[in-house]
Amino acid sequence: MLVSELKMSERELVHLLGAIKTSMIQGANFLVSRIAPNGPIMQKRNLDYIHKACWGMFEAGVPYNLILRILDWVKNNALQHNGDFYFPEEEQEYKIMQRAYRPLTFLKIAVWLDHPLSKDSLIINRILQYQHESGGVFNYIGENPKVVEEQSTIGCLNTSFFGHLMIALNRKNEAIKAGDWIKNFIEKNREYMRKNGIMYTQMTTEGKLVTHIGKGEKITKMVNNKDPKQEFWQVGTCMAYLCVLYEKMVDEWGFSEKESAPYLEAALDLLKFEKTMPLYTYFWPSKCKVGWGAGELLRSLSKYRIKEEFINDAYDVCKKVAIFTFMDNQLYDGGWSCMHYPLSEEAPEINFDYKPLKGIVNVPEERIPNSKTIFLPREEITGEFLGEMKSIEKGIAELLKCFK
């Protein structure tokens, strides 16, 4: 792609990249300050305080010995006899609904740091059980490794995070199966996205989209390009995984560009859908994974010099997430606000606004009893935002090479 065809300047890229790096340093300092005894990391018996904090610390350059200490703490305190991770006293929304999700996050970091958790056959064999024969991945399969309790539907969150772990472990077959599930999921949504501006977010184990949406289920079963507060991450987590899978297939697993191209094409379908989203959708914290996906896509398009006509669009999404979702909402101490994550659009907490005014976010700082939300602590949100912002940083850095 000719530099003249890019809609941004080299100076703009350098400016944004510098701001992102500064933001990440501040966020990393916040997470380090939250390590016990001064904070809940390695003190609060809830994995939400550490699973994404490990990711964010790693990507933000925190000394590895600190992250290894956290992983040691997890191994010594949260590993159960069946190979799962949780604390018995955790609420159901954590230890059941997020049973697979949380270890899928920190086990990837364990692989990167060569921690013993990543080599424990009990743990790896257990996590493999979460993948359905279709390639999709369940969030919960019961307690007995000898009896897998399959659910009726599968979503892209656990499937994509499972895929990232399989790539880290260099398990080609499982990673590609997860990629095939996501590619199929996008193909079934393609016409809905193009014609109706919607994406359904669940499939049955037989591979059919769940299109029936009951009262209060809209937020968990679909994404549209109109409502300001939704699970926008559904688009981003698929996009990110497909790009990382494409890179692994081409660079290390010996696949041709033609064999790998369908995964990248599916990611581009998501980019086209994302480009129809209004600016106000970037003010909701759940836009975060869209930055991850757009960052990985920008890096892939720039690195391989393919589908270059989409570079401007990928960068535009990266820029909006970096500025409006991430940096504009970062607090003075370097962290981000907690979130009361709604499980229904009818939950009153949907009306919360996470935009800081003079450094203060007007939401409760603790879990709300009997709420139809999941309380996501500041440490989790900050860790996730840092991990995803790193992909934007890498994407912009790769794009800058086009100017040389």
Q: What are the pLDDT digits (tens) for 31-90?
A: 999 999 999 999 999 999 999 999 999 999 999 999 999 999 999 999 999 999 999 999
Q: What is the mean pLDDT of the chain?
A: 97
Structure token pair of residue 100: 């697979």
Alpha carbon distance 132, 150 (integer Å): 8
Domain with residue 31: its CATH number is 1.50.10.20
* Strand partners for 7: none
Alpha carbon distance 375, 362 (integer Å): 15
Q: Identify residue 395 by its one-letter amino acid code.
A: G
Query: b/e map of 285-319 (b: 16 or more CB within 10 Å)?
Result: bbbbbbbbbbbbbbbbbbbbeebeebbebbbbbbb
Closest CA to 56 of 104, 22, 106, 1: 106
> Is the four-CA dihedral 129, 131, 134, 135 of positive or negative sign?
negative
Alpha carbon distance 288, 35 (integer Å): 24
Instruction: Note the pLDDT of residue 4.
Output: 78
Sort 54 into a burial class: Cβ within 10 Å, 0-12 / 13-18 / 19+.
Answer: buried
Structure token pair of residue 311: 């570079």
Please say whether the beta carbons of 273 and 193 come within 8 A: yes
Give the confidence band of 1 by pLDDT, cuts at 50, 70, 90: low
Alpha carbon distance 402, 274 (integer Å): 24
Instruction: Note the pLDDT of residue 3.
Output: 81
Instruction: Note the pLDDT of residue 305.
Output: 93
Structure token pair of residue 374: 């999941």
- Give residue-wise pLDDT tens across range 203-224: 999 999 999 999 999 999 999 9
Give the 3-state secondary structure of residue 155. Answer: strand
Q: Identify residue 183 by its one-letter amino acid code.
A: K
Given a cut of 90, whether residue 198 has pLDDT beyond it is: yes
- Give residue-wise pLDDT tens across range 238-251: 999 999 999 999 99
Which DSSP string do the residues of 226-272 spell out, in sequence order? S-SSS-THHHHHHHHHHHHHHHHHHHTS---HHHHHHHHHHHHHHHH
Helix 101-112 to helix 121-128 angle (10° resolution) is: 130
Alpha carbon distance 61, 370 (integer Å): 38
Instruction: Note the pLDDT of residue 404.
Output: 79
Q: How many CB atoms lie within 10 A of CB 192?
A: 17
Which DSSP string do the residues of 47-76 spell out, in sequence order? GGGTHHHHHHHHHHT--HHHHHHHHHHHHH
Given a cut of 80, whether residue 10 has pLDDT beyond it is: yes
Closest CA to 177 of 281, 263, 284: 263
Residues ≥6 apart with Cβ < 8 Å to 173: none
Phi, psi dihedrals of residue 211, rounded to the nearest 5°: -105, -10
Please say whether the beta carbons of 68 and 99 come within 8 A: no
- Give residue-wise pLDDT tens across range 81-122: 999 999 999 999 999 999 999 999 999 999 999 999 999 999
What number of residues does the chain have? 404
Q: What percent of the chain has pLDDT over 90?
A: 98
- Give residue-wise pLDDT tens across range 281-330: 999 999 999 999 999 999 999 999 999 999 999 999 999 999 999 999 99
Give the 3-state secondary structure of residue 200. Answer: strand
Give the 3-state secondary structure of residue 209. Answer: strand
CA distances from 100 to 126, 141, 307 (A): 10, 9, 35
Domain encompassing residue 40: 3-403
Please say whether the beta carbons of 106 and 65 come within 8 A: no
- Give residue-wise pLDDT tens across range 325-358: 999 999 999 999 999 999 999 999 999 999 999 9
The residue behind tokens 């940096």 is: 327
Alpha carbon distance 127, 71 (integer Å): 17
H or E stretch covering 358: none
Residues ≥6 apart with Cβ < 8 Å to 287: 232, 233, 236, 281, 321, 324, 325
Instruction: Note the pLDDT of residue 381.
Output: 98
How many domains, the chain? Answer: 1
Instruction: Note the pLDDT of residue 102.
Output: 98
Closest CA to 126 of 107, 153, 109: 107
- Give residue-wise pLDDT tens across range 356-385: 999 999 999 999 999 999 999 999 999 999
Give the 3-state secondary structure of residue 339. Answer: strand
